[in-house]
A and B are shown apart, each in its own frame.
Chain A
Amino acid sequence: MATNNEIEGFGRVSRTAGTLFRYLLLAATLFGLVFVTILLVYVANDAIRPLTADPGWHLTFFLTLVIPTLAAGAYANRRDIAALRTGVFTIGFVVVALMFSGGAAMIFVDIVEPLTWLAFLLALAVPTAVTMAVVSYDHRVSFVAQFVVTVAAFYLSLFGVPGPLGSLAGVSTMVPSLFGFVAGLPFAPAPWLMMAMTFGPPVAYVGSRYVAGDRDRRTHVLVGAGVLAVVLAGGALAPFAGVDPVPGVVVAAVGIAPPLVYAAGTAVNRPTERVGLLVPATVVVGSLVGAVAVDVVGFAGPQSWVDWAFLTSSHSSTAAEAGFYPAIGGSILLMLTVAVLAFPVGIGAAVYLEEYAPNNRFTRIIDVNISNLAGVPSVVYGLLGLGLFVTYLNQPPGTVLLGGATLGLLILPIVIISAREAIRAVPEETRAASYGMGATKWQTVKNVVLPRSFSGILTGTILALGRAIGETAPLIMIGAPNVKYSLPAGLSEAASAMPLQVYAWSSLYAGDDFYQKAVPAGVVVLVAILLAMNSIAIVLRNKYQSTE
């Protein structure tokens, strides 16, 4: 009998409502994700048009790339799941590093002269060295003296005597700054050698520290020399690939050397994960073999709108020839400006609010209002930028500096909030340990709180930066041009930006053709760059959490 059974067992409790609730929650979780994914797949299909390729092209790459990669992945996974993870991470690293090196290369091709760059670095390096020398004698030199020497060193090195202070008083510069001196030298090494000189040694140093760690000196030298060789080879071999040597050096130093260093570090220091490197190796070799094969047999690839020409040319009257180059460059410059303006202010405010601010009504009012600022629509920030900088301060509209300042204001509250969260995550015990050792507040912040929260702060600020470069409305408000035909030569020139260019292509004036070809291509590039930035943030966060 049923009732008997129930009495003998424990009976059952209905979970229908709970199960229903659970699946509703799952649906809610996936709701947005599914729609955005569908849209992106649709747009990517329009932009890259994989179906326009020869079936043979797909088959070739399936055989040379997809199958071997899957096989290598399965093999690595059988040996050690961590190895597979390392392998996949290396692939991602290569992709992201190459994208960044492309952005960096643009800056040195079109905006910053290699000699100016070298002069600038030297003009920063010398006073930095002076500062470090002064600080390491800090018990002998008073703080005020240190401060004065530091400021003077930077001023002299960057501006000379009497510099801008003198020109305010109508005195012309008598002694040129180190910067002016080097930048004005009549003779200089080849531009690509200068790039290799500035990029090679730091990458080689970091690389050898990473790979060789506390091994003997020989390993250090070997790794460092290897990295230098890669960087120099980038410059020397680029002409054979039809590329300028300057971007060749930048791509080698930023895009190729770091993943190689990472792979070498895995091979040397983590023997169990070594098999994982098979995966990226298969991807690289498979792509090359596939590319050669389709070339030889003559299978046509997809007629993608996102191609080399799209990335390297500017807007044109026909959609098929329109390019994204000035918009990408404009966005990169805006991003740098935003970072330089918003991060110090935002992180400074966060440190003040978390570590110094007294707990009184004034602080609480600021607290609430920063959260409110984060919710102010971006159009309003655009209006602020227009009113403050263009109307009131008489700045020309639409410049990089203006756009950067406006977007910087826009993300400032987000930077503050996320940096505060990261600082708050530093355990109170760690602070207590520092104060208990007789540290002052400044020493505690500098030595314990900031290093500990650094990656958290960076994660939040990178995400905020992603928000900034995706913004369109504030740029429209401040009068940034929709279409630019070249990269801005400096911060005080007008610049377009990726979202603005996409918006221009999709507007009524641009015509249907642009809407179907250029817009999807632009969206794919924009989203790819944002995803690359977010992936950096996610990797940083995971690393941060695993060291807790």
Chain B
Amino acid sequence: MSDNTSEFSADAGDGETADPTADDMVIETDVASATSSSETTTTPDPIIRSRDLDVFYGEEQALDSIDIDIPENRVTAIIGPSGCGKSTFLRCINRMNDRIEACRVEGELSLRGKNVYDPDVDPVALRRRVGMVFQEPNPFPKSIYDNVAYGLEIQDVEGDHDEIVEQSLKRAALWDEVSHQLDSSGLELSGGQQQRLCIARAIAPDPEVLLMDEPASALDPVATSQVEDLIEELAEDYTVVIVTHNMQQAARISDKTAVFLTGGELVEFGDTDQIFENPEHDRVEDYITGKFG
């Protein structure tokens, strides 16, 4: 195996020991999260950090010089009007943009200090550390069990898969509903259940970061609030970055909020309470109060 895979390896233990600074960061983060309240004045060291990040689709610029520091074990919401580049930014983090031919990324985006666009980074190994949940529930046409075990199988995760599947379904608040029908197809579930299945699938291999692109927008209100509760709980162990165009949702579940506005700029980034109560920029205030968007 080449060294890039040891840097972004499927093995979660590997990732922390590979880079000595990463180790330090973990400790610091723990200390920071123990001492600080939600009104953090001393922000913990970021797990994801971008500097001067530009993204182009062909000639079209979708993201313009994004600088952001996303803290560990927090929920960071990304809000903004349609087409402002929220999904594009999210796809930069796990390099799903690589799959779009016209897409070109410039600048730096690092995960635990390592620029994921360095040539020695294997995007497949990166994605094993950064899970993703999509807008439309997209379970595989396989059994519920096989859906959740998918990441375990392809990543060769050691351990008792039955146990991990059960734990993941429990964490996704789905176990009680499906424990008796693990063999039936994931497609037979309702929309909300499917999305929770996708969350269970994403967390089963225990990624460090969970990206969610409008995970509740295709769901009815009841399912939405279930998924939202779930996200708040997940934040205890995961760094969650969630795109939403639902302002209340962002306010309710996130610790930090990033506001992107048309043109692909990050206009404001800060603690959620501050952004919603007292934004610095008039454009952000207009957007949040619904005067534009």
Please pick, from A429, A437, A440, A448, the residue contacting B201 in the complex, using a CB distance under 8 A: A437
Question: Closest Cβ of chain B: how far from A208's Cβ, in Å?
Answer: 15
B142: A residues at CB distance < 8 A: 451
| C-alpha gap A440/B141 in the complex (Å) | 19
Q: Contact check, B134 vs A139: say whether CB atoms are below 8 A apart.
A: no
Question: Closest Cβ of chain B: how far from A530's Cβ, in Å?
Answer: 30
Residue of B nearest to A443 (CB): B154
Please pick, from A139, A432, A443, A451, the residue contacting B138 in the complex, using a CB distance under 8 A: A432
Q: Contact check, B202 vs A435: say whether CB atoms are below 8 A apart.
A: no
Number of interface residues of B (CB under 8 A): 34
Question: Closest Cβ of chain B: how far from A304's Cβ, in Å?
Answer: 46
B291: A residues at CB distance < 8 A: none
| C-alpha gap A270/B142 in the complex (Å) | 22
Interface residues of B in 96-148 (CB under 8 A from A): 96, 99, 101, 124-129, 131-132, 134, 136, 138-142
A430: B residues at CB distance < 8 A: 138, 140-141
A394 at the interface (CB under 8 A from B): no
Residue of B nearest to A430 (CB): B138
B155 at the interface (CB under 8 A from A): yes
Q: Contact check, B154 vs A439: say whether CB atoms are below 8 A apart.
A: yes
A447 at the interface (CB under 8 A from B): yes
Q: Contact check, B154 vs A447: say whether CB atoms are below 8 A apart.
A: yes
Q: Contact check, B138 vs A214: say whether CB atoms are below 8 A apart.
A: no
Q: Contact check, A451 vs B202: say whether CB atoms are below 8 A apart.
A: no
Q: Contact check, A438 vs B205: say whether CB atoms are below 8 A apart.
A: yes
| C-alpha gap A430/B101 in the complex (Å) | 18
Q: Contact check, A437 vs B138: say whether CB atoms are below 8 A apart.
A: no
B153: A residues at CB distance < 8 A: 447
A433 at the interface (CB under 8 A from B): yes
> If the complex has contacts A138-B156, A547-B141, A547-B187, are A433 and B124 also in contact, measured as CB distance less than 8 A?
no
B141: A residues at CB distance < 8 A: 430, 451-452, 547
Q: Contact check, B134 vs A429: say whether CB atoms are below 8 A apart.
A: yes
Residue of B nearest to A437 (CB): B151
Please pick, from A214, A359, A434, A547, the residue contacting B140 in the complex, using a CB distance under 8 A: A434
Please pick, from A427, A432, A438, A452, the residue contacting B154 in the complex, using a CB distance under 8 A: A438
Interface residues of B in 142-193 (CB under 8 A from A): 142, 150-151, 153-156, 158, 183, 185, 187
A436 at the interface (CB under 8 A from B): yes
18 A-B pairs whose Cβ atoms sit less than 8 Å apart in the complex: A359-B101, A429-B138, A430-B138, A432-B134, A433-B134, A433-B140, A433-B201, A434-B150, A436-B131, A437-B131, A437-B155, A437-B205, A438-B125, A438-B154, A440-B154, A447-B140, A447-B150, A447-B154
Given contacts A432-B138, A433-B138, 5 further A-B contacts (CB under 8 A): A436-B202, A437-B128, A438-B126, A448-B140, A547-B141
6 A-B pairs closest in CB distance: A438-B128, A436-B132, A438-B127, A429-B138, A433-B138, A437-B151
Residues of B within 8 A of A (CB): 10, 94, 96, 99, 101, 124-129, 131-132, 134, 136, 138-142, 150-151, 153-156, 158, 183, 185, 187, 198, 201-202, 205
Residues of A within 8 A of B (CB): 138-139, 214, 359, 427, 429-430, 432-440, 443, 447-448, 451-452, 547
